[in-house]
Amino acid sequence: MRKKILVTGGAGFIGSHLCEKLLELGHDVLCVDNYFTGNKDNIRHLMGNTSFELMRHDVTFPLYVEADEIYNFACPASPVYYQKDPVQTTKTSVHGAINMLGLAKRLNAKILQASTSEVYGDPEVHPQTEAYWGKVNPIGIRSCYDEGKRCAETLFFDYYRQHQLDVKVIRIFNTYGPKMQPDDGRVVSNFIVQALTNKELTMYGDGQQTRSFCFVSDLVEGIVRMMDSPKGFTGPVNLGNPTEFTMLELAEMVLKLTGSKSKIVFKPLPADDPRQRKPDISLAKQNLSWQPGVNLEDGLKQTISYFRSTI
Ligand code: NAD
Ligand code: UDP
Ligand code: UDP
């Protein structure tokens, strides 16, 4: 069935891949973005498509449009950018969620929230299951993002209980791929751009901290499956690749795949940087029949070839 679908943050890294996928599936897509970290170049190739519409708008303000489904992705995701204007980051998550939930309530539309593994903070449970409540500093430099996203989850579940809204919440773990901004500041884009331009790779801390990286096409498949899951399956559900790497292992793989002679330079670890992160994806496997298929080496090759052609 052809649907009218709103994607907030649709000009961003994940949002632009999602818009592409939804158009491929035959839907009408309205992309809403204020271009804080997103970019028209990410969606320029969709502009000629009559099923695609683009609207410049900040989700902290009310939005009156029509839609059958809403994917709420608006929010900067890189620590460098979400810490640039932390008050706006919290507003985007909290006021943005209120406005999109109000919109969904008026339209009786299904709504999916892009939450994050950051709701687990610096986790004491490893790997992280959805049942774990997290260990988050409420007053630190990451809190605007972590607590904003936690409050958005609270709002989603209160609209579900209080207004019987059809809500879906996914907790996305570190995702990478083509269309990340070269200056985005996240580790995968930083290391690749540094390696390709013969600059030193900036390792924060001793490089023993871990992350689990999911390729964007795998993630987008999981996102759409979650939206299409039966009513009442609200999540939250973890979406990510459970294969865990240290940042040193990541740097070595990037150096090998780019053939770069760049050296690794060690810099201070930012405050509250989680020491380890790896999703337990049993819930997604069971309820969405989903699991990632692209391993880090293959995903990095595609991402490196994207950056080679753009920087
Ligand atoms: P991104 O920064 O590339 O995209 C975010 C988009 O939201 C950008 O286009 C930006 O301009 C837009 N935006 C920001 N504030 C806005 C506002 N107030 N109004 C309208 N648009 C606004 O980041 P991404 O990696 O594509 O992340 C997308 C979503 O997924 C975010 O909600 C993020 O928190 C979540 N997420 C991403 C990851 C990841 O690893 N990439 C992990 C966990 C969660
Ligand atoms: N809202 C919106 N678009 C709509 C409907 C509501 O942006 O189509 C916003 C509106 O600004 C409101 C918020 O969503 O403040 C929450 O709406 P809700 O109906 O839940 O609450 P109320 O209007 O009673 O504050
Ligand atoms: N990191 C790093 N060098 C960089 C950027 C990041 O060593 O140039 C580290 C960062 O401190 C963190 C990990 O890589 O431990 C992942 O960082 P990113 O910002 O990509 O994601 P997040 O911390 O939000 O998971």
- The beta-strand segments (E) located in the chain are 4-8, 28-33, 52-56, 69-72, 110-116, 167-172, 175-176, 201-204, 210-212, 214-215, 237-239, 244-246, 264-267
Helices 187-196 and 296-310 meet at what angle, rounded to 10? 60
- Measured from the CA of 79, which atom of ligand 3 is nearest? 19
158 CA distance to ligand 3 centroid (A)?
32
Site to substitute for ligand 3 among 181, 192, 204, 296, most atoms within 8 A of C-beta: 204
Tokens of 63: 């939005």
Q: Tell me the pLDDT tens digit for each residue of 235-254.
A: 999 999 999 999 999 999 99
- Measured from the CA of 58, which atom of ligand 1 is nearest? 19
Which residue type does 6 have?
L
The answer to whether the CB of 279 is under 6 A from ligand 3 is: no
Nearest-CA residue for atom 24 of ligand 2: 102
Residue ranges of domains in the chain = 4-176+214-241+275-293
Sheet of strand 167-172, all strands in order from the earlier edge strand to the far edge: 52-56, 28-33, 4-8, 69-72, 110-116, 167-172, 237-239
CATH no. for 4-176+214-241+275-293? 3.40.50.720
The answer to whether the CB of 76 is under 6 A from ligand 1 is: yes
C-alpha torsion sign, points 127, 252, 198, 192: negative
Q: Does the pTM of the predicted model rise above 0.90?
A: yes
ipTM of the complex: 0.98
The answer to whether the CB of 270 is under 6 A from ligand 3 is: yes
Q: Tell me the pLDDT tens digit for each residue of 131-146.
A: 999 999 999 999 999 9
Q: Tell me the pLDDT tens digit for each residue of 77-119.
A: 999 999 999 999 999 999 999 999 999 999 999 999 999 999 9
Does the active-site annotation cover 159?
no
Q: In this structure, what are the phi and psi dihedrals at residue 70, rounded to the nearest 5 degrees?
A: -130, 125
**DSSP letters for 280-311:** --HHHHHHH-------HHHHHHHHHHHHHHH-
H, E, C per residue of 166-224: CEEEEEECCEECCCCCCCCCCHHHHHHHHHHCCCCEEEECCCCCEEECEEHHHHHHHHH
